[in-house]
Every structure is written in structure tokens, then in C-alpha cells.
Structure 1
């Protein structure tokens, strides 16, 4: 506690503004628990950048923690690109303080002699990723906390390739930041170096999206698709309607009550399309309008949730793995039909996503590549393999990236891809749901489930840490009656076969992830979240689907198997 008090006292100096000093003093006088939460650690970069609760302190998102990061990045850019005119682009979402934080960040960059481009109002994350390369910038900053609760905000950092920071830049920048004191931050912005962007960048992005998802469907086919869309109070209201209109889709219904950006997200418990409740209003409107699809995005417009009509005509939510598999199938199948598939093409996904992605991709004779969780690693695959051509790829957490003009998950372009697929299938007398079942029949019925255990604060962080230690020191021998045959430990980069007792190296960057495989193909992965106070367990089971007519029966069997695994591991949703 002494160390925490010392850190807090250092925030009572004239380095910090009067409001900050007053709030820190109040915590010291009245709320020791909150003081501890606010100062017990420094916020750090995770799989999605830096994200946390807003407030005073080193463990909070505020002007000073963001300013320190920005000063460190400025210093690093000067040393990394000594003879170049440095440029950055900044965007922000709908959250409390996002606009103010964006301008604080712009001030620090410009105070360090760096040219800054900033969007005039809220815009989605994939547009920021696109803008980095489009404007030939060295760095991009997105102020967002994605789908976290209203009290959160965050700071995503993109590098020259448009992807988020990866090694070695991330470690080098963190080292630079850690070497700074808050007194080193230069907040004295140079307005001459800050330029507000016009609509030309956004228009170029929308044009590229249409270009990347254009399968020459007729106007009539597109007209016959009925779409309901919700922005969940976030940024995608600025891009999705414009994109669909540009692509020729006319029948779009908006959930008006969720179209206005609002940092409190008043109509949902969580603005996360991974949560079924988030799309309830969209589904109700879609039923009323007899829509074929109900679609929603998270507040910064990079994740998408989709509901499609099942065999009974009811709107059914797809999970992230199912959506990813369907989009990949459509891309591969269209390219195969046109004769455009080449040996140099590849599809990418992550180590905790469904194994069906690899099975499906390789069935089309295309190279499959796997990365750690987070789209920065998929972007790194593209950068590291210029000899290969990226088709598309995704991860189970409702993210997908079509083509490489954006280097992060992109709900806008993915929504357009889903609409193309749904419109064409509808014109053929079938549906997205029926196509998913056909994929299961052809390649195996894979079903996944995610369990996220929330563990907040200092005690929660220790509990998550201990859970991963226990799983390593006392590895599971069996899961729900199935013998474990392989354990992959991405922290040690070792994979051990428990039957042959042989080990091999894992050629993927180190990460705090453990994956168990059983004799029957069950897969269970455990990893702490990089951006939230959670430990996540990813469960995948599979079997064969001999006949389409057996789908419901086999689906229930896999549900029971997943339930047994969760019971055996002591996991609850």
C-alpha cells in the first residue's frame, strides 16, 4: 500500500491540472479501495491496444496516461524514422471523452513536430486502419473501448502497414513509454500541424470496400434482399448505410432508437454483438419488416453480429465462428467459380477459432495460416508474406477482414459480403442457414462455445494468473471422459503429445494461451483476455453430419457434449 500512496502523492503536484489533483486527494481521503484500483499498476497494451476504466491514476484512462503513451510513441517515431516527415492520423468513437482525448493526443503529437490528421467527428476503427496507408502515415491512433461498458475508453495504436502494433515495435515503444515521467509530456500543441480531414478519405474507403466485395449480382437480386441494421449507438451509422447504398442495396431498415451515437448505450446491457441481447431490438424490427437479415455492430464498427432465417423461418443468431466460416466459404467458392484461385492465396484465422476454418480452406486447395488472437497478428501475416495473396479471414470474436486494403477486422466490408452472399443464395431458392448446414455435411459438424469468467481488480488479476499457473502445473489428463492427447503451451512455445511423449516447437509468437486436444477431436483453449478483466475458455467439439435432415438431432448431441465439458471443468457462463 505504501508504494500505491507514493504513486498517488506524485499526482498532487503542479504537473497535473487542478481537477485531477482534487480528485486524487479525494480518493486518498475517502476511498482507499478505489485508490488502490486506480494506482496499483500501469495500464499496458494487450491484444487490442490499451483499454481501461476512465478516471485519475496510472491504472486508468485519462489525459495523462494517454499523453505519456503518445509522448513515448512520438519519441520512438523520431528515432525509427529520423529523416522523414512524420505523420499520424487520429479517429475516435462515441464514448465519453473520446473527442477530448483525441485532441489531447493530437496536441502531444503536434507539440513534437509531427503532422496530425484528425477526423472531424466519430468514425469506425476500420476507417482509421485504412487511413494510415491511404494518407501514407507512420502511425494511427483510435480512441475507443470497442464493446466495453460505458465507463471504459481506450487507445489503439496502428503502424505504417495499417495493422496494430506487433513485435518488435510494441516492446520497443513500451520500453520508451516506461522510461518517461509524466513531466516529460509536451501538451503544447501546434495548431499549424493539425489538419481536420474532409470526406475524401472516407469516400475512398467506401469505394475500396465495394471494389473488394463485388460479385456482379444484378440490381434485382440485391433489391430482393431485406436488411435490418443497428449501429448499437456507435460509429457504424456513419458508414454502413452509405456503403450498402453505394453497393446497390435499397431495402435497408434502421433501428432508429439505436442509430443515434450515445456513450451510455441506453437501450442495451452491453453494446457487444457477441451478446444475444444486443440484437434484440434489431430482430424485433426485422420480424416486423420481414427482413432476411438482422445485423448489428459494436460501437467502433469492427465486429458484427448477424441473425438469419432458420429452416422454420425464425431469425437465429449466428456465432462468430459460423459467420466466419460462411464468409470464407463464399469468398473461396466465388473465386473458384471464376477460376481466380491461385497457389499464392491464403486464408487466416486464430488459434482459438473453429478448426473448421482450416478444414474448409484446405478443401479448396488454398493455404491456411494461423495466428494468435487479435487481428494485429493476421495483419502481420500479410506483412511478413508479401509473396502470398490474402483472401480473407477472421476470428471467433465476431471479427472478419475481406482483402488487405484494411489491416484490421472490418464490420463494414464484412456486412457487405454477408449481404452479397445472402442475396445470391436467396435468388437460388436457398438461404444462409441452409448453406451452413451444407458446409457441415461436406466438411464436418463443428460447434463451439465460449465461457468468459470476469475477475475484476487486483484480486481478480491474481486469480486469473493463478488459474493459468494451475492449468500448467497440473495439466488435465482427460476432459469429460475423453483422454487428452496433445497440449499446446504458447507461453513456452512447446507442444507435447501425451501418447508418444514427444514434443515440438510452436512457430507462433509467445502468448499466455494453453490448448488441450482430446482423442476425439475436442479442443479446449484457455487464455486471459488482453483487454478485459476476464479469463476465457474456448470449447470446440465436432462429429460427422451424414444427412442434412439429421442436423437438429446432431446439433443437440453436440450441445450436450459441450455442457458435459463445461460441467467437468467447473465452468459456468
Structure 2
């Protein structure tokens, strides 16, 4: 295989004394014997996406390594000095269970300290939401977490948070990227100033647990907490550090941890994917729940920002809830508690995303609060909190199994969310109900909304080209009819145009541009196409709904919705 000149030029730049001998030897090896790997490693610079920067670990500009992360950190250091001149700048750094996370975190700390910046570095792995909390608690200007969330074991990543506790958003992210791109690798300052690096742990842990309990506890009697039988799995990730202590401190005594998955391990040996969105990931926890007759199963992803939940249905069988279902359950519960406490006066809001269930809008309307809808990613919900200080944020989430309770943490937070779903479960059980029954009652009140996700993996350069072509085809040859229902509206977030197909009228949308297309059918069915910002995937989201006259008919209505979504998926050749 012939190596393209621009790829070879980029690779040769890594054969200079700026890079260590091990790196140079790896590049030489790829040039001589692995041209395909060389191309994948050097064909572009690793980019910031929906959830920061994620990539395969290895040598090259398109890989996670000490040089790509060092360059990021040097650029951010320069930007911090521009933004906060004359101040003692402080940053906090956390990392997860992935291979090399601890050494990469120390590299990042070294570069910041070499630039005269005070660094708080967690002494061991910690959940991502604790990083967001710690940033504000320690009054830092910036925070970094080394994580690739639920991506495969060969990945790692780098997420950047700002002084409000939320991730970077436009235009600031673009400004920082421009500073990073203007740097040469030779400009990275790797030599640390150790006296500027301070290790942190218990004090911040205790404060975070206290805050989580204050935000996600709602006067559940002690006997009801003790009566809830919980199975929890950390899926080999960071949540083992904080979720069990938080539940214990909150008064939950029957917490059974899946022992085979309790030890942090970047290989994630017991699962195909450490992603609670995947039913298989919770199979061991569900098996333990059946053995122990548990009421609820909770599993979190490696960096503890997403949670998967399983509960017993009306037949007593453990049933996995999807992210939209846990989101509406938790949001409704919070709204009801706020209403009971007399805290709703029209100045509150909940948050959601354009690919999540429209049922969130129904909940907001029923409780006289606003539902703000943004692009995928909790950085946009955090931005809502920052942009609308006159309104109080109650809670919000997205379909991909993330939820945020209040504004103490400005990112999805599986610590507080785990406690919240246990509160819901304990109170439901105490009154002779269940989480599942509560969900069905919501469907009876607001309509039965059913969502489904099809995620197609397309790896490498060819995969990226295929994903791009699929989006081009959907734009240039828009669907006109699906499942015998006419398309009535198309929202194109790349052009910011919403077009009424029936009238031809176009309206400009105010949400920031993104490579997303949403089709709406006559009956209200919603179909969305979106390339992932963190994985080599293109995702198709489906949402359909029907009225539910009474809870007893839920199974029949759900089957109707499932059958309809399956037919649409088949018609679109996505099955």
C-alpha cells in the first residue's frame, strides 16, 4: 500500500527530537510495515466532539497520547492566561479506570504546573460528575477529566470544563481550538513544577456526597429505605468509589454489589461493552437481582455519568428501562416534589435534547414550567443554567441514559441520579406501587411515548465517509412518506432551517448548528438521524406515541408502538 505524501509528511514530523525514542520507533514501524495503521493514525488531528475529545490510544495526531493531550493542555494554559491575566489560575483534574488514565492525568497536571497554574489532582480514579462539582467547590477556572466514557477499551479521552462547572461550548471551544491548532509540539512545556500540584481526595469526596444527598433525597422514611432491595454494578468503573458510600450515607442498607464487576478494570472483562444502554451490560446484575429478589437494578458506565435501570414489571419480571423512561420518571418525581413544596412559580425550567422524548414537553406544560431543548450533550443543558440565571433549573436529561438533578453538578451525574431513582422506588414500594406502575400511570396521564435507537458502527476513514454520505443522501433526497404517513416537517440543524413540507414555509431555528436531521410525520412520529460526536457511529432515533385510556391496556398499546417502529426501521433498511 502506497503512503500518501501528506500522511508521510505528518508522520515524519514525529521523527524529530521533540518526540521521545519510543514514539519515534513506533512511527518508523508503521511506516515500514503498517501503512494502513499509519494513515488512520495521522490522516487528521483528533477533534473535540459532543463529549470532549475521544480516540484510540496510540501514536499519531489522530490518537490519544502524551503529545496530543500535552498540546491541548498547553493551548488551554495559554488561553487561561489570556482570560485571567494577573490571577493565580487553578485547575482540577480527574481520571477514570481506563488504561493510561492515571499517567495521562499526571502528564496534563505537569503541563499545567509548568505554565505556572495551580493543579488539584485526584489521588485516585473518581467519577466524572465529581470533577464538575470539585471545579466549583475549589473555585477553579478550568477542569479536565481523562475518560472515554463507555467507549471500547482501546479508547481514552479528554473533557474540558470551565469555571461554571459545565463543559466547553461555543464560541469558547472554537477559541481554544484555534489556540491549540496554532501551537507546535515543540512548544509544550512538559517539565512540572511539583510544588504547584496538590493531591485531593476525602475532603472533596465528603462534600460531593453531602451535596448529592441534599439534592436527590426527598424525606423517604428510614424504614422504607431499608426495605428497598437494590442490586448495583459499577461495570468495572469509577462509580464503585462514590455510589455505594452515597447510598449508605443516605440510609439505604440493602445494596448488593455485583462482585465480579466491582474491581475497576480498563479491559471491562465481563461485558462486551461497558455501556448501560446495552441490555447485555446489566445481565449479571439482573441475574443477581433475580437470585436475591431485588426490587431494582442500577448500573453505571465507567466514568459514572450514565445509569441503566431495571425494575420489576407487573408480572414480577426484571425489565430494563430506556433512558427516556428513567428521564420522565425522575423529572415527574422532581416536579411533583417541587409543586408539593410550593417552589414552582413559573420561574423554573427542565432541560432536554432534540433527540429525546417529546413527553418532556408534556410534563413541563402540566406543571407550568418551561422545557428548554438543546442539542445532544449535557454541555448544552449546563449552558441553559448559565444563560438563564433568573430561572431555577429543576432537573433534566437526555435519551442516552444521563440525568442531572439540580445544578450542583453541571453534567450528567449517575451518583445523584442513582440516589434519586432509589428514592422513587422506595416511596413507590412503600405505598404498594412500583417504579414500573408509576411509569404506566404517567403514560395513562400524558400518552404512551415509545422511543427506540438504531446505532450503526462505521469505523475508520471509510466509515466516516459512509456516515457523511448517508447524511448527504438524506438531505438531497428527503423522505416524503414513511409507514404510509406523509412527512409534514423536516428540521435541518446544519442549515438551521425547519421546513413545513405541506405549505413550503421555512423557519430559521435558533439552536446552534449541528449535523442533525429530524423528520416529523402526520401522526406525530419523530425520526432523527445524527452522526455521533464521540464514537464512529450514525444514530437513528425513533419516537412514536398513542393515547393510553387505562393502565390495563398498556401492554397492547406498547405492542402497537413497537410494531410500528419496527416497520419504519425495516422500511428505511436499517434493520
Q: TM-score, normalized by length of structure 2?
A: 0.99
**Which of residues 533, 551, 554 is equivalent to 1:551?**
554
CA distance in 2, matches of 1:26, 1:494: 48
Partner of 1:424, secondary structure, is helix
Find the aligned partners of 2:72 and 2:30 in 1 and give their Cα distance: 24
Tell me which residue corresponds to 2:334: 331
The structure 2 residue matched to 1:412, chosen from 412, 415, 425, is 415
Instruction: Find out whether 1:358 has 2:361 as its counterpart.
Output: yes
The alpha-carbon deviation at position 81 of structure 1 amounts to 1.0
State whether structure 2 residue 28 is matched by structure 1 residue 25.
yes
How far apart, CA to CA, are the structure 1 residues paired with 2:102 and 2:177? 24
Structure 2 gaps, min length 5: none
* Secondary structure of the structure 1 residue equivalent to 2:284: helix
1:122 aligns with 2:155: no
Other structure's SS at 2:13 match: helix
Aligned residue for 1:535? Answer: 538
Indicate the SS of the match to 1:69.
Answer: helix
Matched, 1:200 2:187: no
Matches within 5 A, 1:275-354: 275-354=278-357
What secondary structure sits across from 1:11 in the alignment?
A: coil
- Alpha-carbon shift at residue 501 of structure 1 (Å): 1.1
- Is 2:62 aligned against 1:59? yes
Within 1, Cα distance between the matches of 2:559 and 2:44?
45
Query: Residues 266-290 of structure 1: CA distance to partner in whole angstroms, max 9, x if unpaired?
Result: 0000000000000001001111111
Quote the residue 1:524 is aligned against.
527
User: Of the candidates 109, 114, 136, which is equivalent to residue 133 of structure 1?
Assistant: 136
Following the alignment from structure 2 to structure 1, what is the Cα–Cα distance between the partners of residues 230 and 563?
33
- Contact in 1 for aligned 2:231/2:288 (Cα 8 Å): yes
Q: Which moved more, 1:297-306 or 1:189-198?
A: 189-198
- In 2: Cα distance, 1:568 partner to 1:287 partner: 38
User: SS at 1:243's partner residue?
Assistant: helix
Q: Secondary structure at the match of 2:49?
A: coil
Deviations 1:56-94 (A, max 9, x none): 000000000000000110011111111211110000000
Aligned pairs for 1:118-267 (under 5 A) are: 118-267=121-270
1:82 matched to 2:85? The reply is: yes
- Alignment correspondent of 2:99: 96
Candidates 378, 382, 387, aligned match of 1:379: 382
Report the 3-state secondary structure (helix = DSSP H, G, I; strand = E; otherwise coil) of the residue aligned with 1:452.
strand
Given that residues 327 and 397 in structure 2 are in contact (C-alpha distance below 8 angstroms), is that contact kept between their aligned partners in structure 1?
Answer: yes
What's 1:462 paired with? 465
2:396 counterpart residue number = 393
SS for the counterpart of 1:12 is: coil
Range with bigger deviation, 388-397 or 205-214: 205-214
Range 494-503 or range 310-319, more displaced: 494-503
Tell me which residue corresponds to 2:565: 562
Separation in structure 2 between the aligned mates of residue 162 and residue 88 of structure 1, nearest angstrom: 11
Counterpart-to-counterpart distance in 1, 2:84 and 2:11: 36
Deviation string 1:97-132 (CA, Å, 9 cap, x unpaired) is 000000000010000000000000000000001111
In the TM superposition, residue 198 of structure 1 has moved relative to its aligned partner by 3.4
- Greater shift, 286-295 or 392-401, is seen at 286-295
Contact 2:353 2:375 (8 Å CA) reproduced: yes
Distance 2:507 2:412 in 1: 31
Count of residue pairs brought into register by the alignment = 572
Contact 2:217 2:419 in 1 (8 A): no
Give the CA deviation at 1:334. Answer: 1.4
- For residues 479 and 366 of structure 1, the distance between their equivalents in structure 2, rounded to whole angstroms, comes to 34
Distance 1:41 1:385 in 2: 37
Segment drifting more, 397-406 vs 487-496: 487-496
- Matched residue, 1:436: 439
**How big is the alpha-carbon RMSD for the aligned residues of Structure 1 and Structure 2?**
0.7
Structure 2 distance, partners of 1:468, 1:186, is 41
- 1:268 corresponds to: 271
Between the aligned partners of 1:84 and 1:539, the Cα distance in structure 2 is: 49
Shift of 1:260: 0.4
1:469 CA drift (Å): 1.1
Displacement of 1:568 in angstroms is 1.1
Deviation at 1:10, TM superposition (A): 0.7
Asked if structure 1 preserves the Cα contact closer than 8 Å seen for 2:95 and 2:102, the reply is yes
- Show the counterpart of 2:116: 113
User: Residues of 1 paired with 2:344 and 2:285: CA distance?
Assistant: 36
Aligned-residue offset at 1:546 = 1.1
1:72 aligns with 75
Partners of 1:437 and 1:454 lie apart in 2 by 33
Provide the C-alpha distance between the structure 2 equivalents of 1:259 and 1:391, rounded to a whole number of angstroms.
32
Among 460, 482, 488, which residue is 1:485 paired with?
488
The superposition leaves residues 238-264 of structure 1 with CA deviations (integer Å, 9 ceiling, x where unpaired) of 000100011111110000110000010
